[in-house]
Structures are given as C-alpha cells and as structure tokens.
Amino acid sequence: MHTIYNVYDVAGMTCDHCAASVTEELSELDHVTDVAVNLPAGRVTVVSADELSRPSVEAALALSGHRLAT
C-alpha cells in the first residue's frame, strides 16, 4: 500500500467550524486515511491510500459549504 498526499487551497475556510466541516466531509471519501487543516493558510492536506478524483474532492467540499480556491 502506498500513501498519497494532496494539498488543496480551500476558499472561505476561516473558522474552527469550517475546518471541522471540511475535515468531516473529506474524511468520508473512499481511501482517505487522514485530513489535516491549516486554517491560517486556508489549506487542507488529504492523505489517502489511492488517488482521489478532483470532482470527488470538490463534491465533498461543496457538502461542507466550501470550494477549492482558484
């Protein structure tokens, strides 16, 4: 098994509640083993055992009320 680290910039993630929502939704994606939020940077690192599709990450963020930063 290999480990994949993906780092995403998340728009509008400004508080602890935002971070918790993002973590909860991303953690539910298949193969995700860890989610680490850097709130001041607006960045999230997702650790997974397999590649994640961008659409699945975008959908999880949308469920949390957020989106990928452009």
What does the pLDDT look like over 29-56, one tens digit per residue? 999 999 999 999 999 999 999 999 999 9
Q: Where are the domains of the chain?
A: 4-68
**How confident is the model at residue 1, as a pLDDT?**
65
Quick check: 9 pLDDT over 90?
A: yes
Q: What is the DSSP letter of 56?
A: H
Q: pLDDT band for position 12 (50/70/90)?
A: very high
Pick the CATH number of 4-68 from 3.40.50.10860, 3.40.50.1100, 3.30.70.100, 3.40.1190.20: 3.30.70.100
The number of beta carbons lying within 10 Å of the beta carbon of residue 6 is 15
Rg (CA), the chain: 11
Sign of CA dihedral 9, 14, 18, 23: positive
Residue whose token pair is 């780092």: 7
